[in-house]
Amino acid sequence: MFLNAFFWKLWHSGLTWALSDNMRCVLLLQYPSLGRELPSYLVPVLKSEILYKGLALGNLVAQASPALGVLFLRRPLLRAACGALMGLEICALGLVMSIWNPNWLPLVAFFVDWDALIGALGKEQPDPPRPDPPAASSLPTLRSAAYPAFYAAFSTLIAFSAWEDHLDYRLNVYPFTSFQMYSALVVKPPYDVHLPYRQPVIRVRVKGGSPPLPELAKLERTLNRHFCGIIGIERAEDIKARLHEARQIAIKSGQEWLQVELWRAVMLVPAYPKDPEPSLPIAGLMGTISRQGEIQVASLSRGWDAKRNQHYLVLDKLGRDLSETPRVSYVVDHTGPLRPLRGRWEDGRYYYTYTEHGYLTFMLDFPSTETDYCSFFYYH
| Per-residue pLDDT tens digits for 350-367 | 999 876 777 888 899 988
pLDDT confidence tier of residue 380, bands split at 50, 70 and 90: very low
Domain ranges of the chain: 2-126+145-171, 197-379
Give the list of residues 6+ apart from residue 176 with CB closer than 8 angstroms, or none: 154, 157, 158, 168
Asked whether the beta carbons of 287 and 349 are under 8 A apart, the reply is no
Q: Which tens digit of pLDDT belongs to each residue from 244-275?
A: 999 999 888 887 788 999 999 888 899 999 99
**pLDDT value of position 179:** 63
Asked whether the beta carbons of 362 and 374 are under 8 A apart, the reply is yes
**pLDDT value of position 172:** 67
Q: At what angle do helices 22-33 and 49-71 cross, to 10 degrees?
A: 90
Of the two residues 143 and 63, the one the predictor is more confident about is 63
Query: How far apart are alpha carbons 208 and 266 in whole angstroms?
Result: 25
What distance lies between CA 282 and its chain's CA centroid?
Answer: 20
**pLDDT value of position 126:** 59
**Of 16-30, 76-90, 316-330, which gets the smallest average pLDDT?**
316-330
**pLDDT value of position 190:** 93
Of the two residues 4 and 75, the one the predictor is more confident about is 75
pTM: 0.76
pLDDT confidence tier of residue 81, bands split at 50, 70 and 90: very high
Query: How far apart are alpha carbons 46 and 34 in whole angstroms?
Result: 18
Of the two residues 295 and 154, the one the predictor is more confident about is 295
Averaged pLDDT of the chain:
84
Cα–Cα–Cα angle for 283, 288, 293, rounded to 5 degrees: 170
Of the two residues 188 and 320, the one the predictor is more confident about is 188
Q: Alpha helices of 228-313 — where are they, by DSSP H? A: 236-253
What distance lies between CA 107 and its chain's CA centroid?
Answer: 26
Does 371 have pLDDT greater than 60? Answer: yes
Q: Alpha helices of the chain — where are they, by DSSP H? A: 2-13, 16-19, 22-33, 43-46, 49-71, 76-97, 114-120, 142-163, 167-171, 216-227, 236-253
pLDDT confidence tier of residue 78, bands split at 50, 70 and 90: very high
Q: Which tens digit of pLDDT belongs to each residue from 147-185?
A: 667 767 766 665 555 555 556 667 666 556 666 677 888
Half-sphere exposure of residue 208: CA atoms within 13 angstroms, side-chain side: 17
